[in-house]
Structure 1
Amino acid sequence: MRGEPPGPGPLDGVRVVEIALWVAGPATAAVLADWGASVVKVEPLAGDPQRHLEGLRPPGAPEAGGNPTFDVSNRGKRSVALDLKSDRGREVIERLLGQADVLVTNLRVRALERLGLDHESVLARHPRLVYALMTGYGLRGPHADAPGYDSGAFWARSGLAASLTVPGGTPPFQRGAMGDRSAAAVLAGGVSAALLARERTGTGQLVAGSLYRWGTYLLSSDLSIALQYGAPMATARREAMASPTVNCYRCADDRWVWLIGLERDRHWPPLVRAVGQPAWLTDERFATSSARQQNARTLIASLDTIFAEKPRDEWLKVFDECGVWAEPVNTIEDVLADEQFHAAGGLVEVPGTGTPGVNGPLDFGATPAGPRSAAPALGADADAVLGSLGYTRADVDALRSAGVVA
């Protein structure tokens, strides 16, 4: 497990102001922080609602402090709790934005307009700023300003959930914040591109992403096929997959393997060797790719019987010996125990926590990325941040007394 980055990250010196809630916006700023940016998280006086999210402790797990989902979205930042509806609170924000390179927000557009923080107003006052906006559904259209949690915009409305639902089945649930975090990583890349463009033009710009567009982009293959042929691809059923070399199988220990032999003719003979059925190479039902597709149910049922004879790890050894391309269908416990997960840098030390954290999605060879501090307590950095803006200690005390700063 890698510790604190040994030097400046690729965005060292970039100053980010985050006015965001829950996951997609904060996670975008967390990626930028891992890449070396200095991030000030501006929260409501009561704090980001994700701080107070309940029901995260698995049944039977021991009591533990903290909030791991909040922590991973907010590490490496400083926190200021501020009343943005007050004139004096907006004055603080203006001073922050005057020193910033990037604003990250996922507040709804109408709320931003009421605060005078919509992208048109902010960019008119701060033309060099990169304004990163994450919405649920985009900036135009009848649903543009609807509330946009990722389970709705990314998972349900985009077609992802339905595309993964077998006929007669129920739509599957996504795992926590899958759409938020993946969309956040993309928006962080967009911020980097806009910063590069600013180096060339001297001008900032709006970079807008949406959970809905990210979900539909992930379904590009399905949507492109439907556009080209006028009909969608059917949802795959495991029992009738067109090719048995791209399928999952249950083993004797109730664990699963996933075969990834996408080239049907190339990967069929190794699978035949692995399962000890050489006669299948000349069996007219299975000898060709089209024959195997026609007889998929029969073939997969036979393979199910064979795979149920040995535990998963034994099959993985056989696959290695026979040249079958396959991977274990890992549980969370399997991933945490996976030597490759650790060797690939999947975990990282988060300074000041004593607990490992999940590493970001990218490594940089010369400008190392990674968390430089733990997630901040609510308002923990108000004195230092406001002091850097020219506020005296008496000024900050007065703002606290007025209920502008927590």
Structure 2
Amino acid sequence: MLLEGLKVVEMSTWVAGPSTAAVLADWGADVIKVERPIGDATRVYYPDTPESPGNPIFTNENRGKRGIVLDLARPGAVEALKALLREADIFITNVRPGGLKRQGLDYDSLKAEMPRLIYAAVTGYGLTGPEADTPAFDLTAFWARSGVAHATIPSDQAPFGSRPGFGDHTTALATVSAILAAVHERHQTGRGRLVETSLIRAAAYAISWDLSALLRFGQVTTARPRSERMVAHSGFFRTRDDRWVYLMPRTLDDFTNTMLVVDRPELLADPRFEAPVTDPLAIRELCQIVDDGFAQLTLEEACARLTELDVAHAPLGTLEELVEAPFAEAAGCFQPVADGWGGSFRVAAAPARFPEGAPAVGMAAPKLGEHTREVLESAGLTADQIDELIQSGAAIQGAQHPASAGAR
């Protein structure tokens, strides 16, 4: 069902690479996560103990996987990894290109021996060019350097960072799409291929509404200070109970209906406010009128009126409200995952679901090196070879989950 039967080896850390593999695992692929002895960096954010079971950050990016530890600096570890790749359909990595090449794990070094392998490289700035080996995170490449932050943050505010993983998860979805395109092609050709995604390219696509205008006309208007908005009934408005509601005008009727919402129908007959309003003084006056009108309504009252008049809008919600919202539950935003200690907790679900049937989701994220021995055995290594790797420190067999890992 779905991706069952696909074997994935993932050697990556932080978010973009691991979350790519987590989505594939959710959809039924058998995913093996390869970690260094110190483990994925996201393991350190929250404890995983009987008193506080289940690291939510690591689990969000690594649920449903089996985990092994290989120290690629030690003899035998690279060959053990290659044994896994010979049995795999897909290899996902966000290790920098230079490091992979030095270890003979770049695509060019592997493709002759493993012609069916789909090799997915998740990068900051691509595999070629002057920035190919520059360390990158979504906060640096996707958010700051790409122009996304500059286009998003109004000029009257100091720059601020995006939330962690925001650009990484966008890049992960692009990587999933590219991998599945390569899988489809392999059905026809029998050959794998190199798939490459980057934070910078995903950012350019994410901001491409503005970017396309800039490319076409040489200039673009991005985020303005709220006091300089050009459409009086567009954007966020503060209500009497100190909440905010966002209006998204679609047609000229929305201006009419917004005037009804704020109890100023007489303005519809004022020629100064006949669309399109271009006079700066009229725009500023109208903006103040709309602001004052919403300031007289509670959020509940404003949303009720906007809904009745079919004006596209949404309250400025909080994460706390989202996790309790019936609409979010109905949309499938969350899923339970085993914590590895006999309990479970909710995490964000992959952003697509399959109502007519899909693999069960819920297997815990692996403990560090939890499945090293069983994975190496399945790759064809003998017990003596595995013992030698473990004794030399090239591989590490970690602790087993003390409780059932839950349903797949």
Q: Normalising by structure 1, what TM-score? A: 0.92
- Distance, in Å, in 2 between the alignment partners of 1:156 and 1:369 is 38
Contact conserved, 2:236 with 2:246, CA < 8 A, in 1? yes
* SS state at 1:87 partner: coil
- Distance, in Å, in 1 between the alignment partners of 2:57 and 2:88 is 27
Quote how far apart the aligned CAs of 1:157 are: 0.6
- Distance, in Å, in 2 between the alignment partners of 1:53 and 1:348 is 21
Is 1:274 matched with 2:261?
yes
Q: Normalising by structure 2, what TM-score? A: 0.91
Q: Pick from 6, 16, 21: which aligns with 1:24?
A: 16
Contact conserved, 1:360 with 1:370, CA < 8 A, in 2? no
- Distance, in Å, in 2 between the alignment partners of 1:331 and 1:292 is 36
Match of residue 98 from structure 2: 110
Letter in 2 for 1:145: D
Match of residue 283 from structure 2: 296
Letter in 2 for 1:206: L
* Dislocated runs of 4+, deviation >6 Å: none
Quote how far apart the aligned CAs of 1:369 are: 5.3
Match of residue 33 from structure 1: 25
Letter in 1 for 2:208: S
Quote how far apart the aligned CAs of 1:65 are: 4.1
Quote how far apart the aligned CAs of 1:18 are: 0.5
Contact conserved, 1:135 with 1:211, CA < 8 A, in 2? yes
Gaps of 5+ in 2: 397-408
Q: Higher relative CO (CA 8 A, sep ≥ 6), structure 1 or 2?
A: 1
- After superposition, where does 1:257-272 map in structure 2 within 5 Å? 257-263=245-251, 265-272=252-259
Quote how far apart the aligned CAs of 1:291 are: 4.6
Gaps of 5+ in 1: 1-7, 57-62
Identity %: 37
Quote how far apart the aligned CAs of 1:365 are: 3.7
Q: Pick from 283, 292, 307: which aligns with 1:320?
A: 307
Task: Specify whether residues 292 and 249 from structure 1 end up closer, same or farther in structure 2 by C-alpha distance, changes over 3 A only.
Answer: farther
Choose 387-396 or 328-337, whichever is displaced more: 387-396
Quote how far apart the aligned CAs of 1:351 are: 3.5
- After superposition, where does 1:322-401 map in structure 2 within 5 Å? 322-352=309-339, 353-368=343-358, 371-401=361-391
Contact conserved, 1:261 with 1:267, CA < 8 A, in 2? yes
* SS state at 1:355 partner: strand
- Distance, in Å, in 2 between the alignment partners of 1:354 and 1:210 is 33
Contact conserved, 2:250 with 2:312, CA < 8 A, in 1? no
- Distance, in Å, in 1 between the alignment partners of 2:52 and 2:158 is 34
Letter in 1 for 2:129: G
Taking only aligned residues, the RMSD between alpha carbons, in angstroms, comes to 1.8
Letter in 2 for 1:308: A
* SS state at 2:156 partner: coil
Letter in 2 for 1:50: T
* SS state at 2:33 partner: strand
Contact conserved, 1:244 with 1:296, CA < 8 A, in 2? yes
Q: Pick from 103, 114, 119: which aligns with 1:131?
A: 119
Letter in 2 for 1:39: V
Quote how far apart the aligned CAs of 1:372 are: 3.9
Task: Specify whether residues 268 and 117 from structure 1 end up closer, same or farther in structure 2 by C-alpha distance, changes over 3 A only.
Answer: same
Choose 85-94 or 99-108, whichever is displaced more: 85-94
Task: Specify whether residues 293 and 260 from structure 1 end up closer, same or farther in structure 2 by C-alpha distance, changes over 3 A only.
Answer: farther
Match of residue 36 from structure 2: 44
- After superposition, where does 1:67-146 map in structure 2 within 5 Å? 67-146=55-134
- Distance, in Å, in 2 between the alignment partners of 1:73 and 1:13 is 21
Letter in 2 for 1:197: E
Match of residue 59 from structure 1: none
* SS state at 1:27 partner: helix
Task: Specify whether residues 293 and 17 from structure 1 end up closer, same or farther in structure 2 by C-alpha distance, changes over 3 A only.
Answer: farther
- Distance, in Å, in 1 between the alignment partners of 2:161 and 2:56 is 20
